[in-house]
A = this chain, B = another copy of it.
Amino acid sequence: MALKRLGVLTGGGDAPGLNAVIRAIVKSAANSHIECVGIEDSFDGLLEPGLTRILTPRDVTGILRLGGTILGTINRGDPFEHPVSSGGTHDYSERVVDTFRKMRLDALIVIGGDGTLAIAHKFFLRGIPVVGVPKTIDNDLVGTANCFGFDTAVDFATQAIDRLHTTAEAHKRILVVEVMGRYAGWIALYAGTAGGADAVLIPEIPFDIGIVAQKLRERDRWGAKFSIVVVAEGAFPRGGKMEVLEAAQPGIVERLGGIGARVCEALAVATGKETRSVVLGHLQRGGAPTSFDRVLATRLGGKAVELAKQGQFGMMAASAPPDIVARRLEEIVGRIKTVPRDHDLLLTAKALGITFGD
């Protein structure tokens, strides 16, 4: 059966490159005489008709370089367990399947992270012809070598570290930068290396703040009076506690919200130096995608349309350099890609003198 009408949705947190994927899908579909239907706000857009619109090449003009997603996105929208106003959840999946049928769509391309792709896989098992496109700024999805958004986030974090270097040096301070990475330390590892950080703390390696402090004191003695510490938001101290911090001031840990602020305060206590912290937060999500991410997003979008045309459903487009390949959705659901202890960049970073607090 020839593919005539294709639905597209984006789910989960936004990532630079989403619009580039949408553009690639719409333009390559149009050139194959396939109509594209944009579905708003992830699967919420399939809870009832009317939240969709036809997307033509004209509609995607100029969006290649825009962050965000013209389709909107939500984080919480699992139709199988949809939050309801009375509290609790309700299974609306049947309604989604119904809407999909009523809209006479021949396939559905779902662009999203592990959560969104898991939902997509469940709908595939319910008979919806689904193709996935992986998305994660954190780079922690299995099955794909890299994801659009990651390079842009790393590039921004690296530029932020560059900026902080000059001010840290001028004031002889320790600057602590908290970056994204709840379960995996890829952004911290890459941006820390690219920015020339002195310590990088990641979820995969519980840190000993004393070891970090010792490294920074060595730098001081060596003559480098300032230091940069990059902390992934999911990093945590070995044993779960930073004694130096607890001892300094009871109750301070609770008052200091994030791990960046805690590491900052603990290093002030442990080194006696001035410290400051910065949380990059949502700045890492926005902005124009880098050329790398635009190209990757475009390749994945093009591949997704190819897969849909070939009837390869239940699959996702994935990066396996130098190629773009197809992977089964079920293989990637529920798993996560963390930084292996023997990753060459981790070893090189250590060889360069970066401490991971272990």
For chain A, residues 169 to 208, give those with C-beta under 8 angstroms from any C-beta of chain B.
Answer: 169-172, 175, 190-191, 193-196
Interface residues as binary, A317-336 with B (CB distance below 8 Å gives 1, 0 otherwise):
00001111000000000000
A290 on the B face (CB < 8 A): yes
Q: Residue of B at shortest CB range from A317?
A: B344
The CA-CA distance from A282 to B171 in the complex, in Å, is 12
Q: Is the CB of B172 within 8 A of A352?
A: no
**B contact residues around A295 at 8 Å (CB):** 154, 190, 193-194, 345
Closest partner residue, chain B, to A302 (CB atom):
B348
Tell me the bound Cα distance from A16 to B196 in angstroms.
16
Contacting residues, chain B, for A292 (C-beta < 8 A)? 151, 154-155, 194, 290, 292
Instruction: Knowing A68-B169, A286-B165, say if A291 contacts B352 (CB, 8 Å).
Output: no
Range of interface residues on A (Cβ < 8 Å): 35 or more
Within 8 Å of chain B (Cβ to Cβ): is A99?
A: no
> A67–B166 contact, CB under 8 A?
yes
Known contacts A282-B167, A299-B348; A294 and B66 CB within 8 A of each other: no
Query: A74 CB to closest chain B CB, in angstroms?
Result: 7
Given known pairs A65-B162, A321-B321, A345-B299, the reply for A14 and B286 (CB within 8 Å) is no
Q: How far is A216 from B160 in the complex, measured between Cα atoms in Å?
A: 30
Minimal Cβ-Cβ distance residue in B for A191: B291
- Give chain B residues whose Cβ lies under 8 Å from the Cβ of A16: 166
Contact status A151-B193, CB under 8 Å:
no
Determine if A282 and B175 form an interchain contact, defined as CB atoms under 8 angstroms apart: yes
Is A50 an interface residue when CB atoms closer than 8 A count as contact? Answer: no
Q: Kindly report how many copies of this chain are found in the complex they form together.
A: 4
Q: Chain B contacts of A191 at CB under 8 A?
A: 291
**Contacting residues, chain B, for A164 (C-beta < 8 A):** 282-283, 286
Q: Is A135 an interface residue (CB 8 A)?
A: no
- Contacting chain B: which of A23-31, A106-114, A126-134, A239-247? A23-31
* A35-73 interface with B by 8 A CB criterion: 57-58, 61, 64-69, 72-73
Q: Which of chain B's residues have a CB closer than 8 A to the CB of A344?
A: 299, 302-303, 323-324
The answer to whether A68 touches B352 (Cβ under 8 A) is: no
Q: Does A310 contact B (CB under 8 A)?
A: no
Across-interface contacts of A278 in B (CB, < 8 A): 279, 281-283
- 20 A-B pairs with C-beta separation under 8 A: A13-B171, A18-B170, A31-B351, A64-B196, A67-B166, A67-B170, A145-B322, A146-B321, A151-B291, A154-B291, A166-B287, A194-B298, A278-B279, A279-B279, A292-B292, A295-B345, A298-B345, A299-B345, A302-B352, A303-B348
Given A68-B169, A298-B349, 15 more A-B residue pairs with CB atoms under 8 Å apart are A14-B170, A27-B352, A28-B348, A64-B194, A68-B166, A69-B170, A73-B171, A146-B321, A155-B292, A157-B291, A190-B295, A193-B298, A194-B294, A290-B292, A324-B344
